[in-house]
Chain A
Amino acid sequence: EAGVAQSPRYKIIEKRQSVAFWCNPISGHATLYWYQQILGQGPKLLIQFQNNGVVDDSQLPKDRFSAERLKGVDSTLKIQPAKLEDSAVYLCASSLGSLYQPQHFGDGTRLSIL
């Protein structure tokens, strides 16, 4: 089966600019997650979707981050305006969403803020 696809792989922008990331989950996976992984740390959940509804966005900085999952499949994560501390790898993951089902991760987008 095809894995979780993310694009772009790398993005360099200046602070205060905007950026968007795209994720295509594994076919049939109802649950989609966006994580932020700062260098040297474990991934931190930003937002979790179940189909096209938000389950948990408690750690999403809503003043600058937004995410949507239209039609319950693909998802985009946007940052506007970007800050220096947003430099990180943004990982998308998906799962079937039922009990004890593993999360499958994409290879992420590495964002550098200048």
Chain B
Amino acid sequence: QQQVKQSPQSLIVQKGGISIINCAYENTAFDYFPWYQQFPGKGPALLIAIRPDVSEKKEGRFTISFNKSAKQFSLHIMDSQPGDSATYFCAASIDSSASKIIFGSGTRLSIRP
């Protein structure tokens, strides 16, 4: 019940295309859903986060879509660029009680020029 399931494991997208990564969770107590971006040899960096009281959050080319009833959320990267090539992790936590973040297994994204 503490798991966050992420798919796909890897993704190849043409430059300018839309990259979509999906995640699902079971624990309805989760109330904070961040996405992290990790480049090789670097630590994860917060990209964008959402709380379950909204269905969508957009920051630049990055959008989180959240479906509370289905317990699913996804990251959309519009106009994908080669510099977006990285590993992306979805995550969840019960932030209202400062609990630990549970990370998904990651998606390795490659943007073809």
Contacts and interface: CB of A to CB of B under 8 A. Distances in A.
Contacts of B42: 107
A67 to B, nearest CB: 14
Nearest to A47: B100
Contacts, number: 51
15 contacts: A40-B105, A42-B89, A42-B104, A43-B89, A91-B44, A97-B98, A100-B32, A100-B51, A102-B46, A102-B49, A103-B101, A105-B43, A105-B45, A107-B42, A107-B43
Interface residues of A, number: 25
Interface residues of B, number: 24
Interface of A: 4, 31, 33, 40-45, 48, 50, 55-56, 91, 93, 97, 99-100, 102-108
A93 B43 contact: yes
B113 interface: no
A44 B91 CA distance: 11
A56 B100 contact: yes
Contacts of B89: 42-43
Contact of B106 (A42, A50, A91): A42
B25 to A, nearest CB: 13
Given A100-B32, A100-B51, A41 B101 contact: no
